Structure 1
């Protein structure tokens, strides 16, 4: 928990620091990159505005509010995989790969890691790359999950069949376990599994509403920081929990076969 929070604070401060490796980089929206062999594939997201939340959804999703993100960032194309975690473990910066619940490792999303474990991985990526890696904020996550759409899921208001890995969602994994990342279609911005597969931890402290929430894309840090926010739903839960707007929480010391994460890389403005 402390490590993850430390990297969020470092991310805020980093805008005041010049990193030579970043100063030479030019980014285009949709550009993909990976900072090392074994590092996650990242995709550049451009600035923009969107309506976050849903006034017709659960109380936790209200009030819907306009958020403007005036900076570019890069988000992981996929949830972090066992292979990517193993690259960190081999350099003794992360704990050994946790239990895969018998589903498989490789390209399956990493599971059974705590919030503190994630902090170790973020530190390793940041030190290895020379840029700041962190968890996305709720706003950054939902912005990328919606990918310019306003429907319940990026593909529409009905879950349909075989669009995502969630209970009764029509895939061979639904209700049984996680799927290898990228097993379903990407959203319009090229991100996979933003709906279902595994819950994804984000940087925000839990607050049961959006009253007074930041509107600039930053993480909300005035809530219950012992229970960080999770987004996206999972293979175990019903489709309504995989909607773009749905949000919930988990205790920071929880490790589960339902929870994973994806990373954000800050880019030089």
Structure 2
């Protein structure tokens, strides 16, 4: 099913009504987070097999939504609503399957193997085990000597969401349910600024891309300040160049890839530490210890530990856009890996948490969202790509 401009909210009142309904559904926000003084305090809300969407991100964006509702109560919402409507007019919802992208048979891929380290921690965050593992991947050329490494993710069935016994969970993470995921490929890392710049130089498919949108600068830092639409454009440009179908992963695919066979709050185990991921280490999760709050992004893969599938930085650093629309819980969710998309929703999913978030927001099951039609992104929002490239024998 496609998103169409004809399914947009009809008027200002309808927009406010939907935002108010969502605001009542989500859990109360966590305590206020510190934001570096030199950084604008805009916070994001926070899927590969060709994903066929069915019809139909959380707390991190609650401040902006509540400000909108508060202003509505005082009659000052006009300016903000005009801004939203302006964005809807300039950037109507794109089709999930862009007709400008003609997918051709990519043929056989050359897969290589890489070795990586996987660690697990005990309840206090101390490393309990270290293991070496091997996974397969292929390399996509993006131009100017820049490449993208795509890791083979095996198919399987898993329990999506969190159990009611998980610490600091939210109702939006339930009910737990089984999802069956087909094999796909996923970026070993979140998209870097060097990769973004290379793809921004490729021919436009639907919209222009700013080659240097990020607040924090560095070729190997994750690109951030990226909107959902811009992330889709990035995928579409690589699809057009390669003949393979690149896209944002579905929310189910993202959580499956993040967990990599685990059922704990983090793929590391029951807790997380700042030695393993980039988040607000002034706070802890469970019995874990506090640590450093870096107040910025870190180079991708810099912690040198992956999950069991060979993916790095799935917890923290930057939020990651997914293909799905926001739903307040999993009632009515598909049973496979498809993106769950509503034509008339303007909120899109974010997963994984960021450098600027409490550890509970970086859990495998935590769900977040923000306005998809926004023309700009957020200083802690990025993405990782998925691909449905044909497998080799």
TM-score (norm 2): 0.61
C-alpha distance 265-159 of structure 1, shift in aligned 2 (>3 A): same
- Distance of 1:87 and 1:157 partners within structure 2: 38
Question: Pairwise CA RMSD of aligned residues?
Answer: 2.6
**1:46 deviation in Å?**
1.0
| 1:95 corresponding residue in structure 2 | 209
**Aligned residues of 1:4 and 1:115 also touching (Cα < 8 A):** no
**Aligned residues of 1:98 and 1:112 also touching (Cα < 8 A):** no
**Aligned residues of 1:206 and 1:224 also touching (Cα < 8 A):** no
C-alpha distance 242-4 of structure 1, shift in aligned 2 (>3 A): farther
**1:143 deviation in Å?**
0.5
Q: Could you say what secondary structure the match of 1:35 adopts?
A: strand
- Distance of 1:74 and 1:130 partners within structure 2: 15
Alignment of 1:99-248 (within 5 A): 99-101=213-215, 103-168=216-281, 174-184=293-303, 185-222=305-342, 225-248=345-368
For the pair shown, the structure with the greater C-alpha radius of gyration is 2
Structure 2: which 5+ runs fail to align? 4-90, 113-133, 283-289
- Distance of 1:46 and 1:10 partners within structure 2: 26
| 2:388 corresponding residue in structure 1 | 266
CA-to-aligned-CA distance 1:29-80 (integer Å, 9 cap, x gap): 93211121424210011110110001322111010101111x2110000000
C-alpha distance 40-105 of structure 1, shift in aligned 2 (>3 A): same
- Distance of 1:171 and 1:129 partners within structure 2: 43
| 2:140 corresponding residue in structure 1 | 35
TM-score (norm 1): 0.88
**Aligned residues of 2:213 and 2:223 also touching (Cα < 8 A):** no
The size of the alignment, in residue pairs, is 260
- Distance of 1:21 and 1:3 partners within structure 2: 30
- Distance of 1:96 and 1:41 partners within structure 2: 23
**1:120 deviation in Å?**
1.9
**1:175 deviation in Å?**
4.7
Q: Could you say what secondary structure the match of 2:146 adopts?
A: coil
C-alpha distance 53-105 of structure 1, shift in aligned 2 (>3 A): same
